[in-house]
Structure 1
Amino acid sequence: MKYIQLLEDLSNAYGAPGFEDDVVAVVKANKGDFTLQEDAMKNLYLNFAELDPNKPTLMLDSHMDEVGFMVQAIDENGLLLMQALGGWTAASAQSQAFMVRTKDMSYVPAVATSKPIHFMSAAERQKPVALEDLKLDIGATSREEVINDFGIEVGQPVVPATKFYVNERNGMMMGKAFDNRLGVAATLAVFNELGPDAVKALPFNLVGAFATQEEVGLRGAKVTTNRVNPQAAIVFEGTPSDDYAKSATLGQGRVKQGPQLRYRDSTYIASDHFNAMIVAASEKAGIHIQKAVRDGGGTNAGSIHTGHNGVPVATLGMPTRYAHTHYLISAYQDFQDTVDLTVAFLKDLTAEDFAFTELKTL
């Protein structure tokens, strides 16, 4: 498990949407000999400084943020009211441990409130808890204590308090933010596997774009796409696994069954031509992939594919159980297969293969 330490460092990093600074630091520490640039939104660009205007450009996309919350208000009892940053359910957040950032950039632990069963009526016990009913308790007793002693103010980010774990026997990983630190790690691993000399020798520019604020509307990818102006893109994602929710016949993203190649979700329809190229590469490399047509959800492909004059995008997902919760489970083998497939695909890609992205006269 060559990249397990990288995956651990990325998973443990705190990075609510708009507050991805810890993730930026991990990417910077693992950029190797490639150039890395940061824009005003904290989006990162790997190898972008080496862009050759005479070559087409392929962008490897991933997003650095994770689902979290923001402190919206502080009540008189010292409890924190929360505003969700990304998709949460109350059932996933209630009674769970979180970390809240202070104004000096440190983090303090908190727990999402839960009314004890002793104080609940029979009707309350049957009623689902709403997300807006939850507050965070850091162990304070007044609003003044929260502000003056803990240094927590309105607008501070909140993230799950979960530590990474790997089962060495079967290669299963458990941690937070696999959506989408798996993708961030995949981009870094692909560049590392190729190396600076091989990347420079490619007949196209290869740029790694690490986007921010995906969980709140694919915002960072709008900026990275405009800046990079790619002719094609591959999106890496930690996609929801359905092996615990659907039968083997209907499942399209099962753990340990290889990368998930997406054909449709609520934000885009994939390029059939580009997807066919990925399928051909998987067959040549002997790497099993899973084909998925999703009813809902979305990735940065939703922003990228309509950028500039239209961008063919392939989405490779690494199946992840229990997405948008504190504890996600994923297989290291699916991560490695995604990296290996992408490296094999890029090595065989030619400048002529980008011809299908050009405007054609009929």
Structure 2
Amino acid sequence: MNDKTFNLVKTMTELQATSGFENNVRDVMREKMTPNVDEVVQDGLGGIFGIRNNADTNAPKIMTAAHMDEVGFMLAAINDNGLFSVRPLGGWNPFVVSSQRFTLTTRSGQTYPIISSSVSPHLLRGDNHQNATPQINDILFDGGFESAAEAREFGIAPGDYIVPDVETIKTANGKNIISKAWDNRYGCTAVLETLGKLKDTTLPNTLFAGANVQEEVGLRGTPGAVNMLKPDLFFAVDCSAANDLETTKGTFGHLGEGTLIRIYDPRLVTLPRLKEFLLDTASDNNIPYQYFVSQGGTDAGAAQTENNGIPSSVIGVCARYIHTHQTMFSIRDYEAAKELLEKTILGLDRSTVDTIIKG
């Protein structure tokens, strides 16, 4: 990975934007997409897409979509003692939330450092004071304010959002990166780099490339975006959980083994012809890949049921410890996924798309 790409990864992962509050990422996406596309459009919920038009009115319409939001929290109430009760935005393991650094952003855009409380084992629920699983609602957030009145004086109010505060770094061997929010600033970074690389290339399709909103709270941004753009095929560009800590036998998602070819998740069964196209594209271009069966969904699952059905799939990577402050991911996997995204776009002409859709 060259310095330019790493600096983009660092920029995108250190941005703070949770579900419904994606403006920080959207602003950067707009800035970096604009020179490489014919126009930039935004849907009603805030998803943003660069469009590469095609002179051929019969050219197929291809949509590649990351999502801008990361998991975070919303401030639900300011307690009398100045601490904050919150509600999660996205899926959090409660064991990883306590005693971490976050940033709180007010409605005016002011930011403040805060930390999550650590619940004493003596206070955890359970028989005979045995450790019990903490609940998100048990964990308070602390900005050092002495009272609710003092917090309000700083412009803090219910509805403000809270996001992890983390620096992006490389591992000692230079093969991996540690950051927050690779789910899914991976997709945002890959889309931006691919648009830049294809800027002066004639495409066999009309391309919509960008990112949705509110994926982490139920794939909410996708329906509006695909109904606005009406693509023939949809590709989510997303990050999934690695499962390789104890064994790679019988598990899915192994760091360093290539991009993910998703064949199943609870909301998506990749259509056979679309799966075969991705497999052929990876094989023909010597792109390392691994099959992936997921326990969670992506925007592809939401896209495929819109507009009378849109064949959809995922161009993905895996990462360890997603939905936490510290995620680890492979540079090699990113490079493989980015190449698959590029070659997929270049391979989808009208004949190929018709074959995928109609057989």
Fold shared per TM-score above 0.5: yes
TM-score normalised by L of structure 1: 0.92
Give the Cα–Cα distance (whole angstroms) in 2 for the partners of residues 48 and 72 of structure 1: 41
- 2:212 paired with 1:211: yes
Aligned to 1:346: 345
Percent identity, please. 27
Q: Could you say which residue in structure 1 is the equivalent of 2:264?
A: 264
Return the TM-score normalized by structure 2. Answer: 0.93
Q: SS of the counterpart of 2:193? A: helix
* Deviation digits for residues 115-170 of structure 1 (CA, Å, limit 9, x no counterpart): 3457779933522211111110000110001111x221000011111121123732
Which residue in 2 is equivalent to 1:5?
7
1: CA distance between counterparts of 2:296 and 2:206? 30
User: Residue 242 of structure 1 aligns with which residue?
Assistant: 243
Q: Counterpart amino acid of 1:349?
A: L
Distance in 2 (alpha carbons) for counterparts of 1:184 and 1:103:
25
How many residue pairs end up in the alignment? 354
Amino acid at match of 2:204: P
Cα distance in structure 1, aligned partners of 2:49 and 2:288: 30
Is the 8 Å Cα contact of residues 221 and 304 (structure 1) preserved in structure 2?
Answer: yes
Q: Sort the Cα spacing of 1:273 and 1:119 in 2 relative to 1 into closer, same or farther, 3 A.
A: closer
| Partner SS, residue 45 of structure 1 | strand
Q: Deviations over 1:23-59 (max 9, x none)?
A: 0122123213323222331110111677964321011
- 1:133 paired to 2:132: no
- Opposite residue 347 of structure 1, the aligned amino acid is L
Counterpart of 2:242 in 1: which secondary structure?
coil
Shift of 1:179: 0.4
**2:119 touches 2:139 (CA, 8 Å); kept in 1?**
no
Q: Indicate the residue corresponding to 2:148 in structure 1.
A: 143
Distance 1:26 1:64, change over 3 A: same
SS in 1 for 2:251: coil
Q: Contact (CA 8 Å) 1:36, 1:48: kept in 2 or not? A: no
Farther off after superposition, 46-55 or 26-35: 46-55
Contact 2:8/2:189 (<8 A) preserved? yes
**Counterpart position of 1:17:** 19
Indicate whether 1:157 and 2:156 are aligned.
no
What amino acid does structure 2 have at the position aligned with 1:284?
D
More displaced stretch, 51-60 vs 106-115: 51-60
Q: Deviations over 1:253-281 (max 9, x none)?
A: 11111001111111111111111011011
Secondary structure of the residue aligned to 2:241 is coil
- State the match for 1:33 in structure 2: 36
Q: Which residue number in structure 2 is paired with residue 167 of structure 1? A: 171
TM-superposition CA deviations, 1:165-224 (whole Å, max 9, x none): 1237323111111000001111111111111x31xx222111113100000110111111
Distance 1:207 1:278 in 2: 19
Native 8 Å contact 1:9 1:26 kept in 2: no
Is 1:55 aligned with 2:54?
no
Stretch deviating more after TM superposition (111-120 or 228-237): 111-120
Paired residue secondary structure (2:81)? coil
CA displacement, residues 73-95 of structure 1 (integer Å, 9 cap, x when unaligned)? 01100010101111112101111
8 A Cα contact 2:311 2:357, kept in partner? no
Residue segments in structure 2 that go unaligned for 5+ positions in a row: none
Structure 1 position 297 matched with structure 2 position 313: no
Indicate if the aligned counterparts of 1:209 and 1:224 stay in contact, CA closer than 8 A: no
Measured at CA, do residues 72 and 119 of structure 1 come closer, stay the same or move farther in structure 2, by a change above 3 Å? closer
